[in-house]
Each structure stands twice: as C-alpha cells, then as structure tokens.
C-alpha cells in the first residue's frame, strides 16, 4: 500500500516519501504502538470531495510537509503546559467549506496527540480554521476526543444566525471564545471592523467567553479605541500582528481584559531568529506578564491571509522547528516563574483549566 512515513525517533523528525500517491488517494492516520513512528497510509475516497475540490486536485501529490519537526534543541516544559492555538483538519469526515481560501492537508486529532506527547504539552486550545467556515464539527469532535480536562476550543459563528442552543452545545464541548479573522475576511474600513467586533461581542456576552482577533497592525490600530473600552475579554492572535503593532499594544495591554498569544512568529516576522520580536516580548512582559500565553499554531498552515491560486491545489504545511522557537522564547522570557505562568497559569485562567 502506498505510504508516507514520519520518523520521529530521537529528538528529530522528518518525512520520508516512500511511494508517489496515485489518483484519489489521501492520508489515513494510524499509530504503530511501541514504536516512535507515525505512518500516514493513503487510502481511497478518504478526503470527502466538495464542489470546490476536484479530481484534478486529489490526483496530485498530497503534501504533509513535516507537521512534526523538532531540532535537537530541548526546552523542558512545565507540567500542565498548554498550547493555546492548534488546528485539526479532517476532510474525510467533515468536508471543507466550498468558499474557503485554501485546501490544507490532513491533520487529525490522533496526530495532534502524538505531537503534543513528543513536545511535552498536556493541554491544547483548538481554534476553528477558516477553511471550515462556520462548521465547527471537526473541532468539536477533537474536543470530545481530548476531553474537558485537556482541551478547550475557539469557534467561528455568524452572530446574526447562530442560535442559543448552538452556543450552548459549543460551550458543552469546551468552547470558550469566538474568533474573528480579519486576515481572511479583510477589512480596512474602521466602521466595518468595529461592527463585526461588536456583533460577535454582543451575541456571546454573558457567557464568560472571549473574542479572539486575528489582525494585522493596521487593523489593530483601527480597532484599538473600541478594544480598550470593551466589556469582555479580548485575545490577540500571533503577537498582535508583530513588532509593527507595539505602539498599539503598549496602549492596549495595560487594560486588564486584553490578552495576547505569543504564537506563529513566522507569520509576523521575516527577521533571522525573529530578532525583532525579542524586545517586543520583553516589553509586553513588563506590561502584562499575567496575560500572555504561548501557542505553536500546529500544524502550521502554509498561507497567511489572502492566498493566491486555487483551492483545487492542496496546500502543504510549513516545516516549523517548534522546539527551536521555544528555545528562543525561553531566552526572551528568562524568568522561570514568568515562563511557567506563560505556559500553565495564564492559560489556566483564560480558558478555565484547573491550575
């Protein structure tokens, strides 16, 4: 049977292509117990073809480029460490949205669990990816699999149409926030940004949930006056847009309801070893050490914002050395107590885990 193998022996991990995929073959995950190896077996009719996903796309190579990749660098994480931003992709059970901007490869919850084990992470926050639109079922199934003691979720909903019962069900599954992605759904008109934020905030108000924002530095600056006065928790994705956002962040992070994820540095920095983020992280630690959390952004989707091309092409995941980025983060956050808070205490309070 055609197969890809990810060898995770020792501290490194690499993908080895064994056989070129044949048409209409895609990944099916299985774990060989007792061996520290992953096998992604390609089987027919596993993807779940939507109107926007054609035979032409599935007849090409199906890239799963090193969703597990770690260097020999080692940063020991504390017990109950939480990865506050991961995704799962299970198109064989839950087809992607027809209006999506990209088509990612497969990343099932079983792969997430094994990857967490390799890294030493016990808890995770699953974030609804844009390619699923408003269909949160794949995320909810993963939340059920991981369990309420180990996982929380951030959903995507339409505030104009989502029902109270749907929100109740999401909460029962472990959802504690709603995401607004202003990279995929681009907007530069301040009135549009503000309207979208307020619509979601008003709809989920009273549940103790938060609004999670994926914004660039320009959109964050436009939203800042409203965010400062928000009466609910606001969480900023991916360094709040990066070093270019620091002036805005300096005005937002003093607000006790504003949090930020130190996540996906490759999305906001092109500088070697993300050197432009180091002073930013240290400044944010001075302002809000108890409202910063860490996240890996696993399995590291390839694009950022508006993709070019067609959704009939399956987009490979990035090769990201997460252990190396954790080592950098540990250098930036030199105080052990602060680092442990970043990994355990802060996520515990934000997402309602037992600390």
297 is catalytic: yes
User: What are the structural domains, with CATH classification, of the chain?
Assistant: 81-351 (3.20.20.140)
What is the C-alpha separation between 92 and 111, in angstroms, rounded? 15
Residue of 83, 237, 276, 297 marked catalytic? 297
Cα dist from 282 to 45, 146, 154, 285, 290, whole Å: 49, 33, 27, 5, 13
Which residues are CB-neighbours of 117 under 8 A, at least 6 positions away?
none
Model's pTM, two decimal places? 0.81
Report d(CA 339, CA 286) in Å as an integer: 13
- What pLDDT tens digit does each residue of the chain (355 aa) get? 333 333 333 333 433 333 333 333 333 333 333 323 333 333 333 333 333 333 333 333 333 334 455 665 667 899 999 999 999 999 999 999 999 999 999 999 999 999 999 999 999 999 999 999 999 999 999 999 999 999 999 999 999 999 999 999 999 999 999 999 987 666 668 889 999 999 999 999 999 999 999 999 999 999 999 999 999 999 999 999 999 999 999 999 999 999 999 999 999 999 999 999 999 999 999 999 999 999 999 999 987 655 566 788 899 999 999 999 999 999 999 999 999 999 999 999 999 998 7
Helices of type H across the chain = 55-58, 109-119, 137-146, 164-173, 190-204, 217-228, 246-252, 277-287, 322-332, 336-340, 346-351
Instruction: Work out the burial of residue 232: count CB atoms within 10 Å of its CB; fewer than 13 is exposed, 13-18 middle, 19 or more buried.
Output: middle
């Amino acid at each position: 049977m055609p197969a890809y193998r990810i060898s995770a022996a020792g501290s490194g991990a690499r993908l080895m292509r064994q056989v070129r995929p044949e048409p209409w073959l895609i990944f099916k995950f299985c774990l060989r117990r007792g061996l520290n190896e992953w096998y992604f077996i390609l089987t027919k009719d596993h993807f779940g073809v939507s109107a926007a996903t054609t035979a032409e796309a599935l007849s090409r190579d199906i890239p799963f480029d090193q969703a597990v990749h770690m260097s020999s660098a080692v940063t020991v994480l504390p017990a109950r460490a939480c990865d506050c931003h991961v995704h799962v992709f299970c198109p064989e059970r839950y087809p992607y949205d027809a209006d999506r901007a990209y088509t990612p490869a497969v990343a099932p919850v079983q792969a997430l669990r094994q990857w967490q084990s390799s890294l030493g992470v016990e808890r995770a926050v699953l974030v609804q990816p844009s390619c699923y639109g408003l269909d949160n079922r794949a995320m909810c199934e993963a939340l059920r699999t991981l369990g309420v003691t180990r996982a929380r979720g951030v959903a995507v909903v339409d505030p104009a149409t989502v029902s109270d019962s749907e929100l109740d069900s999401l909460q029962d599954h472990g959802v504690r926030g709603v995401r607004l992605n202003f990279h995929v759904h681009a907007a530069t008109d301040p009135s549009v940004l503000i309207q979208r934020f307020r619509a979601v905030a008003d709809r989920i108000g009273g549940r103790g949930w938060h609004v999670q924002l994926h914004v660039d530095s320009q959109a964050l600056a436009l939203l800042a006056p409203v965010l400062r006065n928000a009466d609910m928790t606001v969480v900023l994705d991916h360094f709040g847009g990066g070093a270019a956002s620091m002036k805005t962040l300096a005005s937002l992070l003093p607000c006790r309801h504003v949090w930020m994820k130190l996540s996906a540095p490759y999305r906001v920095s092109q500088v070697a070893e993300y050197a432009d983020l180091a002073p930013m992280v240290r400044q944010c630690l001075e302002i809000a050490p108890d409202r910063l959390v860490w996240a890996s952004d696993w399995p590291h989707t390839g694009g950022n914002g508006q993709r070019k091309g067609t959704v009939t092409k399956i987009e490979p995941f990035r090769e990201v050395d997460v252990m190396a980025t954790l080592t950098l983060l540990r250098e930036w956050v030199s105080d052990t107590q602060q680092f442990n808070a970043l990994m355990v205490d802060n996520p515990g309070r934000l997402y309602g885990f037992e600390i």
